[in-house]
Chain A
Amino acid sequence: MATEIIPPNQITMANFKGRVEPDWCPGCGDYGVLAAVQKALVELQIPQHEVATISGIGCSSNFPGFIETYGMHTLHGRSLPVATGVKMANHALTVLVTGGDGDGFGIGCGHFVHAMRRNVDLTYMVMDNQIYGLTTGQTSPTSRLAMKTKTTPFGNVERPVNPIALALAAGATYVARGFSAEQKHLTELIKNAIQHKGFSFLDIFSPCVTYNHDNTVQWFKPRVKKLEDNPAYDSTNFEAAMEKSQLWGDEIPIGKFYERTDVPTLTELEPVLNPGPLVHQNNRIPAPVAKSFIDELM
């Protein structure tokens, strides 16, 4: 059983420094996301051994290698089922899931929808750069119409997925959007998302400096508007969140779109987990129970 070796309030950024430096392109938005996640964990004083960071495949999915937690680098698009399995087996862990837009909204989109309807207590952060980077610049599910990439040399004709609206429709209980260049705001959102009981989804603009010349930091900066700056905005109002999710163009909202706290998490709904994390439970079937299983067959 885990015991605390780091005294409270002494968890610092150094605790979360990865064994190797990130090898993302200089200027990549993912650096900002990494720093915000580390800061959030420090501010929440969560020891690194109580955190599992699970990713799929892609530039941003190398994330677990750059932060010192129990990391897991899985298959393309499969981070959410793996993370769900980890959480089911040990719900005492804080489970962070990281990946990109191709990983989450392309190949992994089916799992994305189901993880949200299950309300499994994960924090899913998508570093959305609207392009496939690691495969050197192809269109992604969030690439805008008319965007020219290696696979859309004459301009993209497929409309992009709207991750915020999709998450709302699928029943996510926490839906937010961040921007890697808005560090303080992003850190707060990540803290908030980790503290949320249930599935929290964060779509994070994390511009690709190499392959996406349309949606750059400079492009986003004048457009992003924080929902938190509008005191009238009510993040418990589903219809308002859906309406805001449709905005794109001169004004692109970032911040917490929606949160509801009245839906039990998958963990809470499973009586099998009542005695505590599965991993710490006895793995022997008690003799009277075993006998009852055999008696059914006699």
Chain B
Amino acid sequence: MRQSFSIGIGGAAGQGVATPGDIFAKIFSRRGLHLNAYNAYQSIIRGGHTFLTIRTGPDNIPTTNGHLDLLIPLNQDTADRHLRLLTTGGACLFNADLIKPGQSADGVQLCPLPVSKLADISRNKVAQNTLAIGAALSMMGIGFNSLESVLEEQFRKKERAVIDENIALARAGYDYATQNLKPFDHALSLTDARYAVLSGNEAMAMGAAAAGLKFYCAYPMSPATGVLHWMASHARKADIMVRQVEDEIGVINMAIGAAHAGVRAMCATSGGGFALMSEGLGLSAQAEIPVVVIDCQRAGPSTGVPTKTEQGDLWQMLGAAFGDYPRVIAAPLDIADCFTLMPEIFNITDRFQCPGIVLCDLLLAEGRLSVDPAVLDFNPAIDRGEIITSNGEPHDKYLRYKITDSGVSPRVIPGIPGYTHVVSSDEHDEDGILISDAYTNHAKRRAMMEKRMRKMDGIAASIPPPQLRGPATADVTLIGWGSTFGVIDEACELLREQGISVNHLPIRWLVPLHADAILDILNNALHTIIIENNFSGQFARYLRSETSFVATGHIRKYDGEPFFPQHIVDAVKEQLAGTTTLSIPEHEVMV
């Protein structure tokens, strides 16, 4: 059984849920604890309900799990929604002046904080938050010192009196809890490790910077805006040109322009913005200009549920833009992978001069994970592919779209003498001359189409096939893609503890798909279940189209919230019992 401890902090938007979350995250990661955090929130700036879950422990934390050990409600609504989820050994820390907790389960410690006695609440509106943090650390046995330094940093832009006041408040909460409240039964085992804590958006932005990104542009759209924020605030240190553009059509085309001029260029958006970009994706492929696009999926269709997660964009990515063209699509498996995937996909798109799509989702983009800082490698291999940078022969010899066995024609960076040429959106000959008008030629068109599509073979050979996790043979094989990696891994652990033999096939590279390698694995599987965060089983349908493989069963969720391990455990058991082949877990609590 994985040792972990989960804290839930909830309140209305604007009540300051994020700050205690940041403080806990800093303290845990500095005391050698891993963590995984997910914020369930609404598309509202003030009011509504926001609920942040931070799960921590000495080993890696692959997912949050819906279980709570400590609840900190900042308002009555949060207490009403979440108190019933606490089980024996859990505790609820609340402002006794403000909140009347309802009925809790046996063995749950209700911990009223006399906020008005401990703090001057007329001066400090968020006093209850800081008091609760202090009290929580006392009950968890983590000690006060680390909190003091984190508070210093957290409020460093404020005046000294504010910092001192917050430290005093935290101390008051800590001391009050030490004297009046029962500590948790099992203290967490602290370690000497230190971790970086980051969101998937930050990880993708930093991974791209590490890969040599020089141009980034975007239009704000949840949940991808975090990439733009990181880029904007770090542009001058990282020497990256960052632009906020008028719309996503402008975004993709500006990125393509910069890429054409010779730099690595990227943009990020969500499904709606991506829809506007799709014609540009075709331009990237046709003109053979590499560009990387991140899609942070949110619940659709249309504007959908802007602050909720889904894996519902796969078919949009597969079908984006008309016509056939080479493309590469990869889905990062977790937040650390959001970083490591970026140099890989930049290298592929540069080598094969085609668009690359990073198919992320809100769960990873806005979730946060502790990561070993060594994973954040700012010196990865950079392969720009076949690029001509030196002075060349007279221009009439250079063929921008030279037909080659690999389908890749050496690119030249504009500005170099002797290589002037035209790159074009219309179909063209090897030298870039349009063959859409007076020079239309079906044989050339066919040759160009085949040249471009040959790149897919090279891309397939450059990406690793998926690997099975767990025993080679098992009673049941769980198949997922992208962000479900962590939750499926933990579900496998829980199933094994219950005596069910299970393995896990996570898919990271979606296009091109290693169909043969996947079939080699799945043809030997006894019972296969595909797990995905969408309604129609988009990956199941894609897998069938590429391999003819039909899974035994499916677990799907499309309520906007991510899977928890127990959802998968229960669904696998009901499917092994033969009750159903399609499970749609209920999300237990309104968030």
Which chain A residues (27-82) contact chain B, with CB distance < 8 Å?
47-50, 52, 54, 57, 62, 64-65, 68-75, 78, 81-82
Whether B264 lies near A81 (C-beta < 8 A) is: no
**Interface flag for A260 (CB, 8 Å):** no
B213, B251, B287, B396: which contacts A72 (Cβ < 8 A)? B287
Query: Which of A52, A270, A279 has the most CB atoms of chain B within a 10 A radius of its CB?
Result: A279
**Interface flag for B98 (CB, 8 Å):** no
A70, A275, A293: which contacts B415 (Cβ < 8 A)? A70
Whether A3 lies near B420 (C-beta < 8 A) is: no
Query: Which of B240, B249, B259, B438 has the most CB atoms of chain A within a 10 A radius of its CB?
Result: B249
Whether B422 lies near A89 (C-beta < 8 A) is: no
Whether B253 lies near A49 (C-beta < 8 A) is: no
**Interface flag for A111 (CB, 8 Å):** yes
A64 to B243, CA, bound (A): 26
Whether A85 lies near B424 (C-beta < 8 A) is: no
> Looking across the interface, which residue of chain A has its beta carbon closest to that of B26?
A298
A54, A57, A65, A88: which contacts B215 (Cβ < 8 A)? A88
Residues of B within 8 A of A (CB): 29-30, 194-198, 202, 206, 209-210, 212-215, 217, 234-241, 243, 245-247, 249-251, 253-265, 279-280, 283, 287, 373, 376, 378-379, 382, 391, 395-396, 413-426, 431-434, 437-439
Contact A3-B417, Cβ < 8 Å, known A278-B241, A284-B379, A290-B378: yes
9 A-B pairs whose Cβ atoms sit less than 8 Å apart in the complex: A48-B420, A49-B416, A70-B414, A78-B250, A278-B258, A283-B213, A285-B238, A285-B239, A298-B29
**Interface flag for A14 (CB, 8 Å):** no
Contact A89-B241, Cβ < 8 Å, known A74-B283, A279-B262: yes
**Interface flag for A20 (CB, 8 Å):** yes
Chain B at the A interface: SS class: mixed
Query: Which of A70, A89, A273 has the most CB atoms of chain B within a 10 A radius of its CB?
Result: A89
Give the interface size class of chain A: 35 or more
Shortest Cβ distance from B204 into chain A, in angstroms? 13
A283 to B381, CA, bound (A): 12
**Interface flag for A292 (CB, 8 Å):** yes
Residues of B within 8 A of A217 (CB): none
Residues of A within 8 A of B396 (CB): 19
Residues of A within 8 A of B426 (CB): 73
**Interface flag for A281 (CB, 8 Å):** yes
Residues of A within 8 A of B415 (CB): 2, 49-50, 70, 90, 92-93, 279
A4 to B391, CA, bound (A): 10
Residues of A within 8 A of B245 (CB): 81, 114
Whether A283 lies near B197 (C-beta < 8 A) is: no
Residues of A within 8 A of B260 (CB): 72, 82, 85-86, 89
A292 to B263, CA, bound (A): 24
A110 to B378, CA, bound (A): 38
Whether A279 lies near B261 (C-beta < 8 A) is: yes
Residues of B within 8 A of A273 (CB): 241
A275 to B240, CA, bound (A): 12
Contact A272-B261, Cβ < 8 Å, known A65-B433, A93-B414, A294-B196: no
0 or 1 for each of A258-283: is its CB under 8 Å from B? (1 = yes): 00000000000011110100110111
A250 to B294, CA, bound (A): 54
Whether A283 lies near B414 (C-beta < 8 A) is: no
Residues of B within 8 A of A251 (CB): none
Whether B257 lies near A114 (C-beta < 8 A) is: no
B202, B241, B422, B433: which contacts A297 (Cβ < 8 A)? B202
Residues of B within 8 A of A84 (CB): 243, 254, 257
Known A82-B254, A281-B239, A283-B263; 7 more pairs at CB < 8 Å: A71-B421, A74-B256, A86-B261, A279-B261, A285-B209, A285-B239, A287-B379
**Interface flag for A289 (CB, 8 Å):** yes
**Interface flag for A83 (CB, 8 Å):** yes
Whether B210 lies near A73 (C-beta < 8 A) is: no
**Interface flag for A5 (CB, 8 Å):** yes
0 or 1 for each of A1-14: is its CB under 8 Å from B? (1 = yes): 01111100000000
Residues of A within 8 A of B215 (CB): 85, 88-89, 278
A20, A62, A81: which contacts B250 (Cβ < 8 A)? A81
Contact A93-B250, Cβ < 8 Å, known A19-B433, A284-B212, A294-B373: no
Residues of A within 8 A of B212 (CB): 283-284
Whether A3 lies near B391 (C-beta < 8 A) is: yes
Whether B433 lies near A73 (C-beta < 8 A) is: no
**Interface flag for A23 (CB, 8 Å):** yes
> Looking across the interface, which residue of chain B has its beta carbon closest to that of A293?
B206
Residues of B within 8 A of A111 (CB): 246, 249-250
Shortest Cβ distance from A26 into chain B, in angstroms? 13
A283 to B258, CA, bound (A): 14
Shortest Cβ distance from B24 into chain A, in angstroms? 15
> Looking across the interface, which residue of chain A has its beta carbon closest to that of B196?
A297
A50 to B261, CA, bound (A): 12
A70, A73, A81, A298: which contacts B434 (Cβ < 8 A)? A73
A114 to B249, CA, bound (A): 13
Whether B265 lies near A85 (C-beta < 8 A) is: yes
> Looking across the interface, which residue of chain A has its beta carbon closest to that of B282?
A75
> Looking across the interface, which residue of chain A has its beta carbon closest to that of B195?
A298
Query: Which of B206, B210, B238, B261 has the most CB atoms of chain A within a 10 A radius of its CB?
Result: B261
A85 to B254, CA, bound (A): 4
Shortest Cβ distance from A40 into chain B, in angstroms? 17
A109 to B196, CA, bound (A): 45
**Top 8 A-B residue pairs of the complex, sorted by shortest distance between their CB atoms:** A85-B257, A283-B212, A89-B261, A290-B378, A71-B422, A70-B414, A82-B257, A297-B196
Contact A75-B253, Cβ < 8 Å, known A49-B417, A65-B424: yes
Residues of B within 8 A of A74 (CB): 253, 256, 283, 287, 425
Contact A279-B263, Cβ < 8 Å, known A64-B422, A81-B254: yes
Residues of B within 8 A of A282 (CB): 239
Whether B418 lies near A49 (C-beta < 8 A) is: yes
Whether A90 lies near B414 (C-beta < 8 A) is: yes
Whether B214 lies near A89 (C-beta < 8 A) is: yes
Residues of A within 8 A of B414 (CB): 49, 52, 70, 86, 90, 93
Residues of A within 8 A of B280 (CB): 75, 78
Residues of B within 8 A of A278 (CB): 214-215, 239, 241, 258, 261, 263
Contact A298-B30, Cβ < 8 Å, known A73-B424, A81-B245: yes
Shortest Cβ distance from B279 into chain A, in angstroms? 6
Whether A298 lies near B373 (C-beta < 8 A) is: yes
Which chain A residues (222-236) contact chain B, with CB distance < 8 Å?
none
Residues of B within 8 A of A279 (CB): 214, 261-263, 413, 415
